[in-house]
Structure 1
Amino acid sequence: MEQPDNIKTVLDAGAAAVQPITSHGGIPYVAVPEGYNIHDLESLLPAPTRKRADVTTTDTDSFIFYTKKHGSLDNATIYADIDAEASRFHLVAVINDHGSDIDAQQWRDHLCQFSPKQALEWKRWLGKNKTNFSQADFATWLEDNLPDIAAVPGMPSGADILQMALGFEANAEKRLRSKINLQNGGVQFEFVEDEERTPGRRCRCSSVSPWACRCSTAAATPTRWKPASSTASARAR
């Protein structure tokens, strides 16, 4: 039983005598016998050897305060990840980022992140994005959330937007025409303006002046009238 104990004593003494070896590139490393580990005891020191942190803030004042307190113009860099369509806004300040000089490398592990919380009002509006409303439901929803609309000079006010929702008006009526080709199975759909029922179009019931037209669907004011030329078509096979 003495021989194994002697071997263990020798291994322990050898492991204790191991010293860091510096490679040609300047990176230190240590070779230890199999079964032995190297432990980082920095946590037992009175203070860390350098600054490391990953702080998350939700307001601009805290983000600016922390970044200015620990960062510098030479080493701190702020990166932005912004997606307006997805309503995502995220900033991260790397306090110990690489410098501009070739030998100004840093560890880049001191971070301050800014992830603002969405306001309840914004969540309500965003939740209704691309939602279909009836005119009555749309006007009611706008009226309930009217205080959320900011008053910006030169832009429509909340009252203007509500008035628009209450006063939708169609300026043209269209008819759907479809054609089918029996030889190749092609189908053509075409939306055509109904000239007899569209304001600003000549009535077909009379060739005289539109003021003399007896059709109830004729335009009351046919001035600046131009023949309709726009059609929308789609083909499907």
Structure 2
Amino acid sequence: MEKSAIVQIQESANIPSLLDQLEQAGFPVAALPDSYQLHDLEQYMPKRNQFRGKMNTANIIEFVRYHEDYQTEGNQCFIDAERMSAKTIFDLGTIKVPGHCLHTASLGLRKTAAYQSLLNKNNDRLNQKQLAEWVEDYSDFIQVFSTTGELIENSVASAAVRNMKFEAKAGRESNVDDFSHHQSEYESVAVRTKEEFPMPSVFKFTCEPYLGLDERSFEMRMSTIGNETLVLRIKKLEQHEEEMGEEFKDKLQAQFVADDIEITTFIGLFSS
């Protein structure tokens, strides 16, 4: 008798004992030979075994409206305010009757073109022409203020940027006393514009940052790096991001209430 036949006889002899143990365990498992292959026959059936799918949108109203037709017991929404996104799992189920988590809806707010342009200019190194053209291109969103706090017309501000002059000055400092000698070299750059133009200092950019959020104003302070390089920096950007996250969370929860959507919301992420 061949060795493979002996092995099969030994395995078959243990099957009754194995089946008894599986029955006592109470879990939906079965012992099958390695040669068996499982085939999913769902594609040949007139209907699916269960409803499943993933809905994605960047619109808060459409995200909430989708819930109207698919509310189920145990569905929950998880809000990630930091990433400006949310995800609802409709077939999450309950602790006693858990679901497969195969039907979800995801919301991810999209940055507006104006806000994306603002972020692109944050801490970017610009020459005079680039900054002047940006002020002209986004004139509907920008207000420019002088060093004295006065509002400057955008056309005047653009001309002032184009006519800036960078004056570099180098020097040496020396300090000598009885016990020490200190010497250093320095280079300073002064930026001026023509006398008929006020000097731009602060740029105020007002726009809708994400689709569905309220309009918001961002202040940018202008500074120089080296010679003929201008830099705009958004003031308190982290605070703006935190406030926008809170606004997103509040608007989404308020929209659920307004549309009579009964759903439990959590702040955080969920993975199954």
- TM-score bracket relative to the smaller structure: 0.3 to 0.5
Greater helix proportion: 2
> TM-score, normalising length from structure 2?
0.41
| CA radius of gyration, larger in | 1
TM-score (norm 1): 0.46
